[in-house]
């Protein structure tokens, strides 16, 4: 007893063997001989971190005892001390309770063998080997908050998009720190707001505006920060500091209210735990700095275009289309200007203005008027013609466009309208009479009537058919081609020079032949046009007669009445002073054929019209003058259907007139080919 007590007090001989290789073998002392009594042997295995250890016993033979109290082998690893083991391998592992293999996830293992002072039999101990094995850390404990990637000897954490790996290399959080807000007004929200905020994040925001201004914070009502089980703000926390003032911690579902004006610097801290259980918060901050108005000048265009502008903001000012930026100090137009929002909430823009573009005076319209109240952008000019002698053709209303051009309203067309002469107007009512057997006309009855006098002294009439052309008879020019013309008169006495219509040229029908002495009269194609040197100004006393419509070439219906006019011979005077007029009917050509033409036989054709009645006729000196009929479709208009051409020796029954409708094509063509005047710009 004493001895045993003594022996128990004696510590067994002990030693430690360090194993550092990736694999190795070890066995009890003297193996495969019997192990010594009273000993303790420890093997300490260490492999590089990131590896685990697999330990296998290949053979084992240790004195069995209750609870393996006498001799045993004991394993310590992963902070666990396994129960001591003993017993023998009999070649059948199933009968042996000793685990053959151990695995650790840590990189360290300690194996201790102990024997007591006496062995009743001889036991050989054990033999074992170990290898370092890779540990799948990801499967074992998932150390990463998002994704874990195992590799031999370690693992790597990665994060979902939008997250970054934090310093500990395991947790994923969002990058939400360091942001500094320097504008005088703004919006700050938790990451991902109003979706769930990120877990494992520490967010820090700073608002720093210019000194002297104060910051106001305003939480929007949607507020949601996770609380702990006791309703305390320990899970996720929002804290706000400004100078000495501190607000928070805030959590829960009710948005905090901060009524104070804070200093010019505010810090916002928001930290979240591993869960990210909340949808966060939103702060709209404002400041005591005055904002500048969003409109700087009337009609301006700002760049950038913001919904508000704060002190120190700069913006480029231009003017909207149709306006130009004017520098009132330098008194010049500029493309744009940079202006700044000042401390008092105004822009330094007082010397600029957007002025509407000026189209200048619209072009004058011949025989018409402009009517404009202003010549700047979007103002209108309405053209009107001198009614009722001219009628407007084309666009009447023009607008000053952004391009500084006058354009027809709603188009980009700058083509001016035309004031076209109104034809066929007469002041006559039913006051009829006769030329040969006629009555004196009043001014305005036959405003188209003109008087011709050729340079060799021949006199006749003509009819204005536009403001620049006179229709007359070709035979008047048998002698001289040159002629003077007077219009707008009825009284030949004291003809004033301003009633003269200067002539540019005379155009005779190409098939007309002058009357040759001695041969039979041939007044075929007795038609001519006289072009005036300038367009005549039309009015009540001078305005054109209408030309027939195209295709009015058939013989005129007998019985139709028309007016003849002229200063030709009357029953009482060879040269009357006043223009005479009479109404005569169209008659059949046989009436004209049956008269005496000094015994000669003139040629009669379909290009002629016979008109007159006993007692009423045209006569010498009326040649070239018109025979006008009322336009059946427009009864207020008169159309020239005949030209006084020739007649029998004795006036007073019937006369022959050129059938104007047969020459319309030549008339129109001649007027068009020669129808431009030097002082006029040619228009399309």
Work out the angle at residue 72's Cα, subtended by the Cα atoms of residues 66 and 75, and round it to the nearest 5 degrees: 120
Q: What is the spatial distance between Cα 655 and Cα 649, in angstroms, rounded to a whole number?
A: 10
Contact flag: residue 623 with ligand ARG (CB under 6 A): yes
Among the listed residues 71, 236, 324, 617, the single contact to ligand ARG using CB under 6 A: 617
Identity of the residue, 417 or 648, whose beta carbon is nearer to ligand ARG in the bound complex: 648
The interface with ligand ARG within residues 555-584 (CB under 6 A) comprises 568
88 is catalytic: no
Q: What is the spatial distance between Cα 393 and Cα 471, in angstroms, rounded to a whole number?
A: 24
Q: What is the spatial distance between Cα 138 and Cα 129, in angstroms, rounded to a whole number?
A: 27
Among the listed residues 41, 279, 580, 618, the single contact to ligand ARG using CB under 6 A: 618
Q: What is the spatial distance between Cα 418 and Cα 385, in angstroms, rounded to a whole number?
A: 8
CA-closest candidate to residue 583, choices 628, 548, 549: 628
Among the listed residues 619, 628, 660, 667, the single contact to ligand ARG using CB under 6 A: 619
Which tokens in the block code for residue 282? 């939103």
Q: Which residues contact 397 (CB under 8 A, 6 or more apart)?
A: 380, 381, 382, 383, 408, 409
- Which is catalytic among the residues 115, 145, 190, 623? 623
Q: Which residues contact 244 (CB under 8 A, 6 or more apart)?
A: none
CB of 584 to ligand ARG, least distance (A): 9
DSSP string, 596-626: -BTTB-----TTEEEEEBTTBB--TT-TT-E
- Which is catalytic among the residues 299, 475, 525, 638? 475
CA-closest candidate to residue 657, choices 592, 613, 596: 592
Which tokens in the block code for residue 372? 């404009």
The 92-121 site mask, x for binding ligand ARG (CB under 6 A), equals ------------------------------
Contact flag: residue 454 with ligand ARG (CB under 6 A): no
Q: Which residues contact 670 (CB under 8 A, 6 or more apart)?
A: 507, 529
Contact flag: residue 524 with ligand ARG (CB under 6 A): no
Asked if residue 262 lies in contact with residue 244, where contact means CB atoms within 8 angstroms, the answer is no
Among the listed residues 452, 622, 643, 659, the single contact to ligand ARG using CB under 6 A: 622
674 is catalytic: no
Q: What is the spatial distance between Cα 534 and Cα 461, in angstroms, rounded to a whole number?
A: 19
Identity of the residue, 171 or 651, whose beta carbon is nearer to ligand ARG in the bound complex: 651
Contact flag: residue 368 with ligand ARG (CB under 6 A): no
Among the listed residues 276, 278, 576, 621, the single contact to ligand ARG using CB under 6 A: 621
What are residue 157's DSSP bridge partners? 148
CB of 620 to ligand ARG, least distance (A): 4
Contact flag: residue 646 with ligand ARG (CB under 6 A): yes
Place of tokens 């007029």: 581
287 is catalytic: no
Q: What is the spatial distance between Cα 647 and Cα 610, in angstroms, rounded to a whole number?
A: 9
CB of 461 to ligand ARG, least distance (A): 8
The interface with ligand ARG within residues 625-644 (CB under 6 A) comprises 644
DSSP string, 435-467: SBT-EEPPTTTSTTEEEEEETTS-EEEEEESSS
Contact flag: residue 610 with ligand ARG (CB under 6 A): no
CB of 647 to ligand ARG, least distance (A): 2
Identity of the residue, 87 or 568, whose beta carbon is nearer to ligand ARG in the bound complex: 568
Identity of the residue, 543 or 618, whose beta carbon is nearer to ligand ARG in the bound complex: 618
Contact flag: residue 137 with ligand ARG (CB under 6 A): no
Q: Which residues contact 97 (CB under 8 A, 6 or more apart)?
A: 87
Identity of the residue, 618 or 670, whose beta carbon is nearer to ligand ARG in the bound complex: 618
Among the listed residues 215, 401, 489, 651, the single contact to ligand ARG using CB under 6 A: 651
Contact flag: residue 655 with ligand ARG (CB under 6 A): yes
Contact flag: residue 648 with ligand ARG (CB under 6 A): yes
At residue 505, what are phi and psi to the nearest 5 degrees?
Answer: -165, 160
- Which is catalytic among the residues 61, 71, 310, 526? 526
Q: Give the binding site for ligand ARG (CB under 6 A).
A: 460, 568, 617-623, 644, 646-648, 651, 655
Annotated catalytic residues are 475, 526, 623
């Amino acid at each position: 007893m004493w001895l045993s007590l003594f022996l128990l007090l004696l510590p067994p001989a002990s030693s430690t063997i360090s194993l550092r290789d990736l694999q190795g073998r070890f066995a009890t002392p003297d193996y495969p001989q019997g192990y010594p009594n009273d000993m303790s042997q420890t093997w300490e295995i260490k492999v590089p971190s990131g590896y685990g250890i697999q330990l296998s016993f290949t053979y084992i033979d240790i004195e069995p005892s209750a609870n393996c109290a006498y001799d045993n082998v004991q394993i310590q690893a992963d902070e666990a001390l396994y129960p001591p083991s003993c017993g023998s391998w009999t070649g059948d592992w199933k009968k042996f309770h000793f685990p053959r293999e151990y695995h650790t996830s840590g990189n360290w293992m300690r194996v201790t063998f102990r024997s007591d002072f006496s062995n009743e039999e001889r036991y050989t101990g054990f033999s074992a080997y170990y290898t370092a094995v890779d540990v799948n850390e990801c499967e074992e404990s998932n150390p990463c908050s998002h994704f874990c990637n195992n590799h031999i000897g370690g693992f790597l954490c990665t994060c979902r998009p939008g997250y970054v790996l934090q310093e500990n290399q395991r947790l994923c959080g969002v990058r939400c720190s360091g942001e500094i807000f320097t504008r005088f007004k703004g919006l700050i929200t938790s990451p991902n707001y109003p979706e769930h905020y990120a877990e494992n994040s520490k967010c820090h925001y700073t608002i720093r505006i210019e000194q002297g201004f104060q910051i106001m914070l305003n939480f929007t009502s949607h507020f949601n920060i996770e609380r702990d089980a006791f309703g305390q703000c320990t899970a996720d926390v929002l804290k706000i500091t400004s100078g000495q003032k501190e607000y928070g911690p805030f959590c829960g579902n009710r948005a905090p209210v901060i009524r104070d004006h804070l200093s010019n610097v505010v810090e916002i801290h928001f930290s979240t735990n591993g869960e990210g259980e909340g949808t966060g918060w939103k702060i709209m901050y404002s400041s005591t700095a005055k904002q500048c108005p969003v409109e700087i000048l009337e009609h301006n265009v700002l760049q950038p275009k913001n919904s508000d502008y704060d002190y120190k903001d700069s913006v480029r000012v231009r003017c909207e289309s149709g306006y130009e930026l004017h520098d009132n100090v330098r008194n010049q137009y500029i493309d744009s200007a940079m202006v700044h929002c000042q401390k008092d909430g105004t822009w330094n823009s007082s010397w600029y203005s957007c002025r509407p573009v000026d189209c200048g005076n619209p072009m004058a319209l011949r025989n018409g008027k402009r009517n404009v109240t202003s010549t700047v952008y979007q103002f209108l000019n309405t053209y009107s013609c001198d009614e009722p002698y001219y009628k407007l053709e084309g666009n009447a209303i023009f607008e000053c466009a952004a391009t500084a051009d006058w354009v027809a309203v709603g188009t980009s067309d700058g083509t001016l309208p035309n004031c076209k002469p109104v034809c066929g107007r007469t002041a006559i009512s039913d006051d009829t009479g006769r030329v040969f057997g006629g009555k004196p006309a009043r001014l305005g009855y036959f405003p188209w009537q003109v008087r011709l006098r050729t340079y060799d002294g021949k006199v006749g009439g003509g009819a204005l058919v536009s403001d620049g052309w006179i229709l007359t008879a070709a035979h008047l020019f048998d002698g001289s081609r040159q002629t003077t013309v007077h219009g707008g008169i009825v009284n030949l006495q004291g003809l004033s020079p301003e009633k003269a219509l200067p002539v540019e040229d005379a155009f005779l029908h190409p098939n007309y032949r002058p009357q040759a002495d001695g041969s039979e009269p041939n007044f075929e194609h007795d038609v001519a046009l006289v072009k005036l040197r300038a367009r005549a100004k039309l009015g009540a006393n001078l305005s054109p007669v209408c030309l027939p419509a195209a295709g009015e070439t058939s013989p005129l219906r007998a019985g139709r009445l028309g007016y003849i006019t002229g200063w030709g011979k009357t029953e009482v005077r060879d040269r009357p002073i006043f223009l005479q007029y009479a109404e005569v009917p169209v008659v059949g050509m046989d009436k004209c054929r049956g008269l005496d033409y000094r015994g000669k036989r003139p040629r009669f054709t379909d290009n002629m019209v016979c008109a007159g009645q006993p007692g009423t006729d045209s006569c010498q000196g009326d040649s070239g003058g018109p025979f006008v009929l009322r336009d059946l479709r427009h009864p207020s208009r008169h159309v020239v259907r005949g030209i006084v051409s020739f007649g029998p020796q004795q006036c007073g029954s019937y006369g022959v007139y050129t059938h104007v409708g047969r020459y319309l094509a030549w008339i129109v063509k001649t007027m068009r080919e020669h129808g431009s005047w030097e002082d006029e710009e040619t228009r399309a």
